[in-house]
A and B are shown apart, each in its own frame.
Chain A
Amino acid sequence: MIEVENAVKTIGKKNVLKGINLKFDSGKVYGLKGRNGAGKTMLLRAVAGLIHLDRGQVSIDGQILHRDIDFPKDLGLLIESNNVLPDFTLRKNLQMLAKIKKVATDEMIDEAIRRVGLEPGDRRKVREYSLGMKQRAAIAQAIFERPRVILLDEPTNAIDIEGVKSIRELFEEEKKRGATILMASHNPEDLSLLADEVIEMSEGSVANAE
């Protein structure tokens, strides 16, 4: 379980997170919605351990980030553009990432690439991919190690309608596997179809939780 307690973060003079309190249970999909600058991505970064809170804490399965652990131990992340290196094939990219934790086999890598609708044997470098294919590649990168926590920022951006359907199915499968998915999205359909709970954020605070 992920627990965010009284999370406060200020950048310059702007309070990007204003005392957020949230709990995320395992095996559920949580949608984050809100306008640009509402704090959705910053909340994802806080959960990923990429920012240090001014006040409050994030704990994952009882382990407090930046006190007990530097980063969540089992995390898949799609939070930025350029999630994969453009000068390598997607398979090579994932193989390089896999060397760090050494949990993903070549078979798992190939399976993840197929699940996002791409071909493991594709010899093209990622820079030759279309925008939608790059987004699929980024999703493959987030799921290929079968992490317990998956953080996604606008995961269906630039993906065609058919592709969006299969990506949604993929997230459903990840949820059934027991992964906790936090997904920031501006797409109401993504949120209504996938999320067990939708959290609306506004100006760094939780405005509403449905």
Chain B
Amino acid sequence: MVRMSWKNLFTIFIVMILLFQMLIYGNGTTSSIIYFGNYFSKPIIIKITYFGLLLCPFTICIGVMEVWQSGYYLNRLIRAENVGTLITKTYLKILTQIMTPIFILDLGEQLIMGGFLYLQIISLISIYSLLLGMFLIVDFRFGSTVAILMVSLYLLVAVFSPFEWRVLGAFVFRETDEMWSLAAILIITVIELCWLKEIIKRKDFFGEEYD
């Protein structure tokens, strides 16, 4: 139900490269892991750059749910045998769009550093899966603006939280080998998708105009 916007994706990727570079220079070294670095003691400008890097891929989601009111998407919806499958496919497609620039940057960094940290990848997928589910639920109920504000608030907490919060694992953007946090995120994400399915089943589709 969602089309890949290559232009948007490319623009977001360029912005993310710039923010990534700024963080590398801000840290003064390439020895720390950008996505899971300790920014608590860093100047506020570094924290905000990190916040921007984390939030940037979410801008691709803005407005994706509004298109469900257009004729084409309504026509897809009424043809769907199983709304759950439709939701899952949509969710996975948006998640792929979000994760594409993150994967490229993260894998690039790992290659430069000479290692493959699979737990870092799993942590990133987990947290973005969780946040995307939250985003879509809020977007459907209250619109894109509220959804992006909510995600921003979550990320601000993650960015400005002390490093000691690492006990929360991937919940606050910490690379984690604590399986409980990854399992918890997975369960919450599944609950989010079920909730999203119920929202869509109960939603009124008035379309772009009504008579």
* A residues with CB within 8 A of B: 11, 16, 36-42, 45, 48-52, 66, 70-72, 75, 77-85, 87, 93, 97, 100-101, 138, 141, 153, 184
Contact = CB atoms under 8 A, between A and B. Distances in A.
B78 A80 contact: no
A50 B205 contact: yes
A128 to B, nearest CB: 17
Interface in B74-93: 74-81, 83
Contacts of B77: 50, 71
14 contacts: A39-B211, A40-B211, A45-B207, A48-B74, A50-B207, A71-B77, A72-B78, A75-B79, A79-B74, A80-B209, A81-B71, A100-B79, A101-B79, A153-B211
B202 A52 contact: yes
Interface residues of B, number: 23
Given A45-B205, A87-B3, 18 more contacts: A16-B210, A39-B211, A45-B206, A50-B204, A50-B205, A51-B205, A51-B206, A52-B202, A52-B204, A66-B201, A70-B201, A80-B208, A81-B71, A82-B208, A84-B72, A97-B79, A153-B211, A184-B211
Listed from nearest, the 3 A-B pairs whose CB atoms lie closest are A80-B71, A83-B71, A41-B211
A151 B80 CA distance: 17
Interface of B: 3, 70-72, 74-81, 83, 201-202, 204-211
A84 B76 CA distance: 10
Given A45-B207, A80-B71, A71 B202 contact: no
Contacts of A66: 201
A80 B74 contact: yes
Nearest to A103: B79
A82 B211 contact: no
A49 B74 contact: no
A2 to B, nearest CB: 14
